[in-house]
Amino acid sequence: MRIQHWLPLALAIHVSATSASDKTLTQQLEEKIERAIVAIEQTSRTQWAYKVTRFENEEGDISQSVETYTPERDIEDRWQLVSINNHAPTNDEQNAFKAEKLERSEGKENSLSIDLRELINLNELEFIASNGNITEIGFPVKLAKLGDDANGKLHGTLHYNEEQRFIEKIIVVNKADFSPIFSATITDLKMTFSFIKLQGAILPHQTTLDMKGRFAFFTKIDETSTDTYTDYQYYGEQR
């Protein structure tokens, strides 16, 4: 009878302790990732010189380019097209490239292609695993640019570097088909964003997109693109 009397109380204490532990872990995850997002937001890429190597394969139509950004040059010359489809650019190609970059000036061309605060909902983080150095965290994804039909069909995973305290990688995949626009269906989607830490700054390393589907039931969608950032050199004030 004594065991039966104390058992409900013991179970209640255990459940309460577990809930408190889960709440503490969730709060720790939120605080870590919040600080990591702020670190990315506070890194100004306009103070860094770097090279971008771009590759795209759209239904077998392959294009590639190498570009450089150098902040100490005059604004119209900061972006240079080094090569396009494995050949040196013509004057017309170089001028068109610079004009496009100038149109996106005022630092906008140096911002991430996606809003991390929209991508990562801090209130819905879920601990997956940790090996002591990298902590893997999952979260549901809602992106306005992918349309309402994508809600509930996308899942994200991020890798947090515990030693250096930054987000190393974010991966977004779909769990079901969705339609970002009328008559288009995406069957397979994978977006990957990876970062590196240099002199305390969190900088893009690589962004990739793999997407398959169909458009208007007849046209196949099969696209792969990769942007790789290398050769970083700091031109800002001494850190």
* Burial tier of 14 (Cβ tally within 10 Å: 0-12, 13-18, 19+): exposed
DSSP three-state, residue 75: helix
- Beta-sheet strands, E only, within 29-175: 48-58, 61-69, 79-84, 126-130, 134-140, 154-161, 166-174
- pLDDT for residue 144: 87
Residue 219, pLDDT score: 86
How much is the pLDDT for 15?
A: 45
Q: Alpha carbon 106 to chain centroid distance?
A: 22
- CA nearest 225: which of 45, 48, 65? 65
- pLDDT mean values, one per 10 residues, the chain (239 residues): 49 48 77 95 92 95 96 93 96 94 68 81 93 95 89 95 97 95 91 96 96 86 96 82
pLDDT of res. 24: 80
Do 138 and 128 contact (CB within 8 A), yes or no? yes
Contact 82, 97 (CB under 8 A): no
Domain ranges, ordered by start, for the chain: 2-48+107-234
